[in-house]
Amino acid sequence: MNRSDLISNTMTDNEKSKSERIDDIIEGVMKIAHGDIDHQFEITDNNDKIDALSMGMNMLMDDIKEGHLQKVENERITKLNEELIIAKEKAFESERLKNQFLQNISHEIRTPLNAIIGFSELLPTYFDDKERLIEFTEIINNSSSDLLQIINDILDIAKIESGQVSINWEIVDIKTMLNNIEVFFSQYQKQLNKSHIEFTMNFPCDKITQPIQFDSGKLKQILTNLLSNAFKFTHSGKIEVGCKGLSDTHFTMYVSDTGIGISKELQAQIFDRFIQAEDNYTQKQKGTGLGLSIVKGLIELLGGNIWLESELNKGSTFTFSIPYKFYKPF
């Protein structure tokens, strides 16, 4: 039996040798080095230099912990401040958009309303002038449609955002549906005096040999919004609507134009409510900036996706996919 065995054999269970206590301290330091900043060194009843060292280490650890907590707290406060600044900027931006929207919408509502009130007041005065009567009633009629469109858009966006719109799966004759849209927009094109723009529809309906089901009302609303934008923002060239792909579950359609295009910065937010390329409404085209957010809301509700490729002064292509089902009678 050597000397150290002799020493350890003479120790009681709860008594540790100095060397074991130093080993404990070394182990503690290793734990701290690995991140255990809560580690406390053991103080015995011996009241010796090792206890004094442990006490000093504990005090040091308290200081380190306090410093660490302070650092964590400072980091938390810095992060919170950054989040607050972002939230404040967002709130300012949303306030600015809301004000812009109110300014736009009151203009958009007042214009047709003033026309309706003004021209209906004039009607009795021109009762014997048939030509004028026709002209005035046409203005009243168009203004009423504009007003109805704005009110419908506001109601639609409110309904979509509050989750009150449901999907109506119906058997659709897609060929007739698209023909109707083509006829409507060819007419619309004439009204806008934009007959010089080439308008084509490219949907291979013959590829669909079985009856299919989808929400045709919503697809019509999506295409109408995208096409009216295309006609509004295109002054020459071509507008095309068509099908890019047809899988067993989805079809992918596109509306492309050779219009004014959308800048890269604006593309990221173009589907947000009230966003329009030109803030100053006296310079911009008619509209409230709700159309694309309705389109995106409807497509997402249907379980589809929409994306945009555009280049300023070259044109834009809006592509979207929406699900459909093959109709199974039994």
Ligand X SMILES: Nc1ncnc2c1ncn2[C@@H]1O[C@H](COP(=O)(O)OP(=O)(O)OP(=O)(O)O)[C@@H](O)[C@H]1O
Residue ranges that bind ligand X, judged by CB under 6 A: 153, 225, 229-230, 233, 257, 259-262, 270, 275-277, 287-292, 316
Percentages of the chain per state (helix, strand, coil), in multiples of 5: 55, 15, 30
- Please provide residue 240's backbone torsions phi and psi, each rounded to the nearest 5 degrees: -135, 140
Partner whose binding site includes residue 143, from Mg ion, ligand X, none (CB under 5 to 8 Å by kind): none
Of the candidates 222, 175, 240, the one whose C-alpha atom is nearest the C-alpha of residue 320 is 222
Task: Output the six-digit token pair for 238.
Answer: 């071509």
Q: Which of the choices ligand X, Mg ion, none does residue 277 contact, using the CB cut-off of 5 to 8 A by kind?
A: ligand X
For residue 304, the partner it binds in ligand X, Mg ion, none, with Cβ less than 5 to 8 A by kind, is none
160 binds, among ligand X, Mg ion, none (CB under 5 to 8 A by kind): none
Does residue 280 sit in helix, strand or coil? coil
287: which 2 tokens?
């509209």
Q: How far is the CB of 309 from ligand X (least distance, A)?
A: 11
Contact partner at residue 289 from Mg ion, ligand X, none, CB < 5 to 8 Å by partner kind: ligand X
How far apart CA 193 and CA 28 sit, in angstroms, is 85
- Please say which residue, 184 or 233, places its beta carbon nearer to ligand X: 233
The pairing of strands 198-202 and 238-246 is parallel
What minimum distance in Å lies between the beta carbon of 254 and ligand X? 12
Q: Which is nearer to ligand X, 58 or 189 (CB)?
A: 189
For residue 300, the surrounding DSSP H or E stretch is helix 291-302
Place of tokens 């007041």: 121
Tell me, by CB under 5 A, how many residues bind Mg ion: 2
Among Mg ion, ligand X, none, the one that 302 touches (CB under a kind-dependent 5 to 8 A) is none
> Closest CB to Mg ion among 229 and 256?
229
Query: Applying CB under 5 A, which part among 124-132, 135-143, 178-186, 226-234 lies near Mg ion?
Result: 226-234
CA angle 219-221-225, nearest 5°? 120
Phi, psi of 253 (to 5 degrees): -115, 165
Q: Which of 143, 229, 234, 310 binds Mg ion (CB under 5 A)?
A: 229
CB-nearer residue toward Mg ion: 172 or 255: 255
Report the candidate in 292, 298, 297 with the shortest Cα–Cα distance to residue 318: 292
Closest CB 165 distance from ligand X, rounded Å: 17
156-185: contacts with Mg ion (CB under 5 A): none
For residues 272 to 311, the per-residue mask of contacts with Mg ion, x marking binding by CB under 5 A and - elsewhere, is -------------------x--------------------
Residues of 201-237 as b/e, b for ≥16 C-beta within 10 angstroms? bebeeeebeeebbbbbebbbbbbbbbbbbbbbbbeee
Site for Mg ion in 234-253 (CB under 5 A): none
Q: Name the binder of 133 from ligand X, Mg ion, none, CB < 5-8 A by kind.
A: none
Q: Which does 290 bind (CB under 5 to 8 A by kind): Mg ion, ligand X, none?
A: ligand X
Ordered strands of the 212-214 beta sheet:
170-172, 212-214, 325-326
| Residue whose CB is less far from ligand X, 208 or 290 | 290
Q: Tell me the two tokens of residue 173.
A: 């004759």
List residues near Mg ion by CB under 5 A: 229, 291
